[in-house]
Structure 1
Amino acid sequence: MKELTSSQVRQMYLDFFKSKGHDVMKSAPLVPNDDPTLLWINSGVATMKKYFDGTVVPKNHRITSSQKSIRTNDIENVGHTARHHTLFEMLGNFSVGDYFKEEAISWAWELLTSKEWYALDPEKLYITVYPKDKDAKGIWEKVGVDPSHIYEVEDNFWDIGEGPSGPDSEIFYDRGQEMNNLPEDDPESYPGGENERYLEIWNIVFSEFNHKPDGTYEPLPHKNIDTGMGLERVVSVFQHAKTNFETDLFLPIMDETAKFSEGKHYGDDAELDVSFKVIADHARAVTFAIGDGALPSNEGRGYVIRRLIRRAVMHGQKLGIDGAFMYKLVPVVGEIMKSAYPEVLEQAEFIQKVIRMEEDRFNDTLKDGIVLLDNLISETKEKDEKQLPGKPVFKLYDTYGFPLELTKEYADEQGLEVDEDGFNEEMEAQKNRARAARSNAKSMGVQNGLLTDIKTESEYVGYSKLQADGVLKDIIFNNELVDTLAAGNEAQVIFDKTPFYAEMGGQVADEGFVKSLDGEVVAQVKDVQHAPNGQNMHTIHALKELSKDKTYRLEVNVEFHNKVKKNHTATHLLDQALRDVLGSHTHQAGSLVEPTYLRFDFTNLGSVTKEDLKKIENIVNEKIWANLEVNTVVTDKESAEKMGAIALFGDKYGDTVRVVKIGDYSLEFCGGNHVDNTNELGLFKIISESGVGAGVRRIEAVTSKEAFDYLEGRNNLLEQSAQNLKIAQIKEVPHKIDQLQNQIKELEQQKEALEAKFASQQAEDVFKNVEEVAGKSVIAAQVNVSGMQQLRQLADQWKAKELSDILVLATATDGKVNLIAAVNETSVKEGFKAGDLIKTIAPLVGGGGGGRPDLAQAGGKNPEGMQSAIKAAFEWVASQK
């Protein structure tokens, strides 16, 4: 067997399938693009769903990839097992209605065993098949697998409920009995059993059935192949590693971590090895996740990143690491993965900044968490209980990042246990909330054979003209191809030529009409989308009968189209201006280009300041007024990248791409419509900036007439304000407002002085009414003041003049009650506490409160209860003796 690095294993896999006619698909970002069913890309096939369900027909039906993926459902197992990871790479080869079992099996065997490729010993390879899949078993024997190495396993059937399904075949590598954790004669010591000897390295799914809602299965119109080989697993085979962690994918990270610890090293202590593994695993995951546009937050994928960083920090403390260290591992991860993912090192500075900020924030939070844990332990002991309750323990885990194991250690030191059942109930409740918050859309739709089989040639001519004659080639009505469409019906239609833009890249579809050649309107075009094979498919409402193979005149709504293309060009200018002002780390996270406004989502750590927004807006307007020419170049993707063109976040591009160049300022991949010169935009105005998710901001803006109308509306408001303020010119409005604010401030001060004077006058009367209760002098009364501030002023006067031992005052303003209680120093020493007094009387006014032994306050919503509260104050004093 060859000694291969992880980079060699990955590249050899891709090269092999490229030699078999597969297109190599670049790994998609971990953040799913337009897939609400996924929090993360969690497998290679997750990026292929649009091909397998027939939404899109790929240019090449043979595809291979090494897809980075994240799964966090088993996060607690990471570090404790040999193969659990949060981030992993899935090598895969996929056939979308092309080859099937014969090729998939023979190629797998060739790659694994031939001397030119992996050169694994065939005697060490074992296969499992679905018992009813006699075809697969026969093919494995045909390619040379020893029949005694083939096992029939009932579980070998891939099924997610409704949708595509089929038998699968797994490939195991025999690592030898010396690697096993079980005796050789143990019932589980076989390929597919729960053991460490036989390692599953590859799974081939033969997707050939549609699982129907009634539980039955029917053959798919197009059979597919979906395979998955875990890179980390197979690398452990080539590097003779007992676990995935003892490979070149993890060891350099653990070696670097050791430098930060107090002389600790991986392999010295089994318990500490867990911490090394967790840190290495989580460092990879958060590095890639942040690089792909996700940022730490309290929800969704941002919460996953935050949780991973916090778990790693906690394990760092077990290794004796103080302070932030995770961010220092980013360049190490980048170096390991640079052959396949050079972007990690390119973004390293930004990724480090994000992780460092999160580490520092957590170290502050950790201090608060330790205080809460100490309080929880004290409260449990005071109640003479032996178990920390599950709910607050889960809060420590969820909010403060305390792993359950750490809380158990703290508790054990104090002779306590932890209610793990209660903790697990809270954990399950949180998972249910997360599942409920996710879209209930199907994870993979059922193939639509009708649409995928439509191969009509259709040309889009809308870049150069908005009117064209086209032959109606296909009419889809009620999911059937028909030759005619009656008036009043809605259908999808495809022409051999169309000027109508199909919605894509954030730009909305064109609107317009279908006419006869003599100019009569026969249909309204309501929407245009891409059919699976790429044609522009028009949704129309028929006003007259339409017939297949007849020529029609297609006319785009010119005003609508021109407004859209102005806003689309503006998004390109805005995209570049954001990079200029905020930094190169920011990139597009979505957009919408409508005729009346544009919406642009982008990644950024925080909100954009007003000053930066003004800079961004000024830059865009300067480029508009600079009369920059807008040109397009159609070229291959590699040439476009060499030109410096920016690929939009999450978009996929074919071999031929369209590049939009705005002067020497902006250069982006784009298939949308644009103006010829930036001066056509006229004016650009940002109308809002807000947050829409973790680390994602949104700018909404307008151009041209809509920008003028927006500014005109603001100007009208100023003119109306000037009239209301009775001034001649709107430029005087700010000065007049300043004058009025100063007047208001002066009046407020006068009002406060008068209220204070009135309160003092009241105090003279109130402070005279001193009552003796159980040997204590008490003043308790209702006063008419403006609120708590004046009550505190009265309490200060009482204290300064030493008018009694205990004071209780109550007032009500706008239906809200304020209470204050004060106790002199001598009485406090005797056990009279203002906090206890206020807690006793506050419920009588419908509220609650607390404070120090010498001073406490409360609020309430029941003014009618003030006299009862005052009476209760006297009773409380009496009860203390």
Structure 2
Amino acid sequence: MKQLTSAEIRDLFLTFYKDKGHDVRPSASLIPINDPTLLWINSGVATLKKYFDGTETPENPRITNSQKSIRTNDIGNVGVTARHHTLFEMLGNFSIGDYFKEEAIEWAWEFLTGEKWLAFDPEKLFVTYYPKDTETKELWEAIPNFDNSHLVPVEDNFWDIGAGPCGPDTEIFYDRGESYNNLAEDDPENYPGGENERWLEIWNLVFSEFNHMPDDTYVPLPHKNVDTGMGLERLVSVIQDTPTNFETDLFMPIIEKIETLSDGIKYSESNEGKVSFKVIADHIRAVAFAISDGALPSNEGRGYIIRRLIRRSVMHGRRLGITTLFLSDLVPTIIEIMGDYYAGLSEKLDFVQSIIKNEEERFHETIGDGELQLENTLAQLTEEGKTVVSGAQAFQLYDTFGFPLELTEEMALENNFTVDNDGFEVEMEKQRERARAARSNEESMSVQSEALQAVTSEFEFVGHSQLSSNATIKAIIKDEESLDHLLINEEAWVFFNRSPFYAEMGGQVADSGGIYDGSELIAEVNDVQKAPNGQYMHKVKPLSMRLNEGQSYTLVVNGKTRLKTNQNHTATHLLHQALKTILGEHANQSGSYVGPDRLRFDFSHFGKVTDEELKQIEQYVNDFIENAVNVDINEMPIDEAKALGAMALFGEKYGDVVRVVNIGNESIELCGGTHVSNTNDIGTFKLVSESGIGAGIRRIEALTGQAAIEYYQEKEAMLQAVQAELKVQQTQQLLPRIHQLQEELKEAHSKVESLSAKLLQEESGNLFKETEEVEGITFVSVVQENQSADGLRQLGDVWREKQASNILVAVSNQDDKATLLVFVDDETVAKGTKAGDIIKPLAKLIGGGGGGRPQMAQAGGKKPAGIQDMINAIPEAIKATIKEA
């Protein structure tokens, strides 16, 4: 076996399959594009699903990649086991209806054992297969130098995730030797494919040869596929002969950097600390790559995962004695290890570090909030005579405050409490179930359509330059059947040899329109989609005449709606550039809608866009419209387009020759959509909303042209209604009138407060007459309904003036919240009793906290129902301060 670095192993794999005619694909973003079933890209095949289920046909049916992936369903095992990771790289080779089992098996063996490649000892390799797949068994037995006794049948070797492609698989294992055999010889798991450390699975070859139909039957696939996956981390561990994946060159430089930041703790000398080193090294890789791909910390979805990984890392850092911000300092080390292959991370280093540092700072603040909440919980449990923090309470701290379970356990133990860990796990599982229910099967695919894949006729899109065209029907597909005609009022997918209709792609909606026979409208076009082999297929419904395969008709796009769509599409390009110019280069597109009615643009950004920024963004676009800038559209080689600085839209795949939309040499994007020829054709641009849609993603909606004018007209009508309501003749008089009403309202409030103060003065005799005493200190407690904090302060002024007692405790219930103020006279403060000391235990009883000066302290609470209990606890709270004094 050769001694190789992780970078050399990755390069060898891709080179090997490139030599076998495979298209080497770069690693796709971790954020899935147009796939709501996935939270993250979780395997090499995840980015190729459209090819496997037949919705699209690749230019080259042979594909290979090293795909960065994230799986987060077992975060708790990271660092505990030898090979659990959140982020990992999956090496894979794929065949889309091309080669099948024979080549896949031969090439896998060649790569693993060939002297030019990995040069594994054949005697170290074992193979499992699906027992009913006798073809795979025979192919392995025919491999030169393969020991047939190393071939093991395993019933589980069948890859099936529900409806869609499925089939048997064969797994390759490496025998690490008896030193890794930690199981007894008679253990039922002591074999290749069992749960053990000796025989390590390094490669899985999946042969998709069946369609799993919705009715749970299995039929042969129209096009058989090969999908393989080999974890780079695991392969490197075998080649570098390390006990776990973490001792390889993919992780050790990160661990060594953590050592320099820790409190003198060394990884090699540590026992419990090893887990913390591993967790941090694993999590920071996932966080860095996820942020560089556009995901940002938040309280939901992907953002929640990033936040959770960062917080777990911070907590494990504390175990190593690291109490300062440190995670962002690890990112350059990741770049040293992986930056040559993943250049995108290097390019976004500053941005990634700033996001991680900001999130770390926020978590340090959160720890303080969580500690306060836990203190309140422990105090409440003490009063109830309980000594166990329930699973629900611990989970609320974890879920609402981001407070880790480990820290809850530590603080609970310090206060002689325990934590119901089983109950916590029950709550955690409920959350997992909610997350699973919120999205579909993470690896789901569609059932292949043989009828659509069978259409291979030539096609030309002419819609960039014309809205009508003569065209001949080449195929009609209805319910998986190929027809030679389509009857009136039936609906089917119709393929033409050319079309002016734009198919739904890249966020732009499909055109609508009609099909004519001469001047007569005979059918309507209700949808246009891209077929598996690249043609545009039209959903057509004949109105007055049947349509026949091989016959020619005139296709006409609805020009009015196309123009509106063009206006919105060009405005979207300008908006994208405006966001990058004003907010920063990180504001990348993460989704869009471009239709005749409006435009919607989703983009990555870590905070709310301010009103001033929105104003600048809108002005940026309208300046281009006013200046009547030509929209230049040209086709050119992709390298030439990149040299121009053209921006590729997120998730789109481009060929060697691309279409470049250039607006004033400022907005330059690769785009196949339709546009206006001059920015002045947009008319006007109006931003109507900006909002967060989760996981660090913001959304802007806007209108152009006539839709924007109608929006302005609606606002004008509303303004006129307000003028009528306020009885002003001109718009210019509105603000002075509003200011006048505000002053009148302010004056009225002032009068009310003055009257309230007089009433308090008059009622104070009654309010302060019931004085109580605790060890020589007198106090008065007053409960007022619907009184503000200001009102309670005025009551305190009256109390102080009357010298009614040594202490006043005033509380009010208003809007389902409690407001508490404690006043202490100077003489009592001098003896050591302070308002803040009294208010702290009282505030907990109304579900809050607070503080203030020795003479006065204020607190707010969310549990007004606890006011009476709080009143009852005043003597004990005062007595505690006397003892302390």
TM-score normalised according to structure 1 size: 0.89
1:201 has 2:205 as partner: no
| Match in the other structure for 1:582 | 583
**Residue matched to 1:152:** 153
Write the distance in 2 (CA, Å) between the matches of 1:781 and 1:400.
Answer: 33
Partner of 1:554 in structure 2? 555
Contact 1:779–1:808 under 8 Å retained in 2: yes
| Residue 142 in structure 1 maps to residue 142 in structure 2 | yes
Deviation at 1:649, TM superposition (A): 1.3
| Mapping for residues 321-720 of structure 1, pairs under 5 Å | 321-373=322-374, 387-405=388-406, 407-408=408-409, 417-439=418-440, 443-516=444-517, 518-544=518-544, 545-720=546-721
Give the match's secondary structure for 1:641.
Answer: helix
- The alignment yields a C-alpha RMSD, in angstroms, of 4.0
Q: Deviations over 1:822-878 (max 9, x none)?
A: 99989999x9x99999x99xx9xxx9999999999999999xxx9xx9xx999x99x
Distance in 1 (CA, whole Å) between partners of 2:119 and 2:768 is 102
Residue 491 of structure 1 and its aligned partner are, at CA, apart by 1.7
Cα distance change of structure 1 residues 723 and 334 upon mapping to structure 2, 3 Å threshold: same
Q: Secondary structure at the match of 1:392?
A: helix
Deviation of 1:238 after TM superposition, in Å, equals 2.2
- Aligned twin of 2:95: 95
**Residue 191 of structure 2: SS of its match in structure 1?**
coil
Counterparts of 1:873 and 1:21 in 2: how far apart (Å)?
82
Distance 1:214 1:730 in 2: 66
Kindly provide the amino acid, as one letter, of the partner of residue 507 in structure 1: Q
User: What letter is aligned with 1:649?
Assistant: F
Q: Is the 8 A contact 1:836 1:850 kept in 2?
A: no
Which moved further from structure 2: 654-663 or 35-44?
Answer: 654-663
Cα offsets for 1:507-526 (capped at 9, x unmatched): 1111111000x211011111
Aligned to 2:881: none
The alpha carbon displacement at 1:411 in A equals: 5.1
Give the whole-Å Cα distance in 2 for the aligned partners of 1:762 and 1:367. Answer: 42
1:17 is matched with 17
Code of the aligned partner of 1:693: G
1:335 Cα deviation (Å)?
Answer: 2.2
Unaligned runs of 5+ in 2: 879-885
Q: Residues 321-369 of structure 1, C-alpha deviation per residue, up to 9 Å, x if partnerless?
A: 1211001111211221122210101001111111001101111112333
Please list every run of 5 or more consecutive structure 1 residues that lacks an aligned counterpart in the other structure.
none
Seen in structure 2, the aligned counterparts of structure 1 residues 359 and 536 have a Cα distance that, compared at 3 Å, is same
Question: What are the superposed Cα offsets for residues 120-156 of structure 1, whole Å, 9 maximum, x if unpaired?
Answer: 2212111111112111111112122111121111221
Q: Is the CA contact (8 Å cut-off) linking 2:511 and 2:557 kept in structure 1? A: yes
Deviations 1:627-660 (CA, angstroms, capped at 9, x unpaired)? 2221222233333223321111122223332221
CA drift of 1:682 comes to 2.4
Given that residues 577 and 667 in structure 2 are in contact (C-alpha distance below 8 angstroms), is that contact kept between their aligned partners in structure 1? yes
Moved more, 692-701 or 351-360: 692-701
- Deviation, structure 1 residue 717: 4.0
What letter matches 2:90 in structure 1?
M
For residues 521-579 of structure 1, give each alpha carbon's deviation from its aligned partner in whole angstroms, at most 9, with x where no partner exists: 01111111111111111112210221111111000111110111111011111111111
1:538–1:810 distance in 2 versus 1, CA, 3 Å: same
Deviation at 1:395, TM superposition (A): 3.2
Identify which range, 93-102 or 405-414, moves more after superposition: 405-414
**What displacement does 1:195 show?**
2.2
Preserved contact between residue 812 and residue 820 of structure 2 (Cα < 8 Å): no
1:254 aligned to 2:263?
no
What is the CA–CA distance in structure 2 between the aligned matches of 1:271 and 1:3, rounded to whole Å? 30
Q: Which residue of 2 aligns with 1:131?
A: 131
From the superposition, tell whether residues 849 and 287 of structure 1 become closer, same or farther in structure 2 (CA, over 3 Å): closer
Q: Are 1:116 and 2:130 an aligned pair? A: no
User: Contact between 1:67 and 1:91, CA under 8 Å: does it hold in 2?
Assistant: yes
* Contact 2:206 2:227 (8 Å CA) reproduced: yes
Aligned to 1:168: 169
- CA separation of 1:22/1:382 partners in 2, compared to 1, >3 Å: closer, same or farther? same
How far apart in 2 are the matches of 1:777 and 1:407? Answer: 39
Q: Give the partner amino acid of 2:584.
A: G
Specify the code of the residue in structure 2 equivalent to 1:102.
Answer: E
* Aligned partner of residue 270 in structure 1, secondary structure: coil
Q: Quick one: percent identity of the two aligned structures?
A: 53
- Cα distance, 1:861–1:219 mapped onto 2, change above 3 Å: closer
Q: Which digits, 9 at most, give the CA deviation of each residue in 1:59-81, with x for residues without a partner?
A: 22211111111011111111111
Moved more, 773-782 or 542-551: 773-782
* Worse-superposed segment, 673-682 or 726-735: 726-735
CA displacement at 1:818 relative to structure 2: 9.4
CA shift, 1:405, in A, is: 4.6
Shift of 1:94: 1.1
Indicate the residue corresponding to 1:44 in structure 2.
44
Is the CA contact 1:835–1:856 (under 8 Å) kept in the aligned structure 2? no
Q: Is the CA contact (8 Å cut-off) linking 1:266 and 1:272 kept in structure 2?
A: yes
Cα distance in 2, alignment partners of residues 510 and 812 from structure 1:
60
Q: Contact 1:177 / 1:184 at 8 angstroms: preserved in 2?
A: no
The 8 Å contact of residues 22 and 64 in structure 1, kept in 2 or not, is answered as yes
Contact 1:90 1:231 in 2 (8 A): yes
Provide the rounded CA distance (Å) in 1 between the counterparts of 2:786 and 2:278.
Answer: 64
More deviation, 148-157/707-716: 707-716
- Indicate the SS of the match to 1:746: helix
Quote the offset at 1:295 in angstroms.
Answer: 0.8
User: Do 1:835 and 1:851's aligned partners in 2 also have CA atoms closer than 8 Å?
Assistant: no
Q: 2: CA distance between counterparts of 1:432 and 1:456?
A: 46
| Residues 550 and 185 of structure 1, relative CA distance in 2, 3 Å threshold | same
Q: Which residue of 2 aligns with 1:298?
A: 299
Note if contact 1:792-1:820 (Cα within 8 Å) is conserved in structure 2. no
> How many Å separate the matches in 1 of 2:859 and 2:681?
64
Counterpart in 1 of 2:107? 107
Whether the 8 Å CA contact 2:569–2:674 is kept in 1: the answer is: yes
Evaluate the alpha carbon distance shift between residue 621 and residue 834 of structure 1 in structure 2; reply closer, same or farther with a 3 A threshold.
closer
Deviates more, 1:87-96 or 1:22-31: 22-31
Partners of 2:512 and 2:488 in 1: CA distance:
19
Judged with a 3 Å threshold, the aligned counterparts in structure 2 of structure 1 residues 542 and 645 are, in CA distance, closer, same or farther, namely same
The letter of the residue matching 1:194 is E
Number of residue equivalences = 866
What SS does structure 2 have at the residue aligned with 1:700? strand
Deviations 1:757-777 (A, max 9, x none): 35544556x469879999999
For residue 68 of structure 1, give the secondary structure of its aligned residue in structure 2: strand
Of stretches 754-763 and 328-337 in structure 1, the one that deviates more from structure 2 is 754-763
Instruction: Tell me the distance in 2 between the aligned counterparts of 1:639 and 1:597.
Output: 33
Which residue is 1:30 aligned to?
30
Query: Aligned partners of 1:300 and 1:201: how far apart in 2?
Result: 31
One-letter code of the match for 2:30? Answer: L
SS at match of 2:272: helix
Q: Separation in 2 of the partners of 1:77 and 1:441? A: 20
8 Å contact 2:847–2:863 — kept in the other structure?
Answer: no
Please say which of residues 637-646 and 664-673 is displaced more in the overlay.
Answer: 637-646
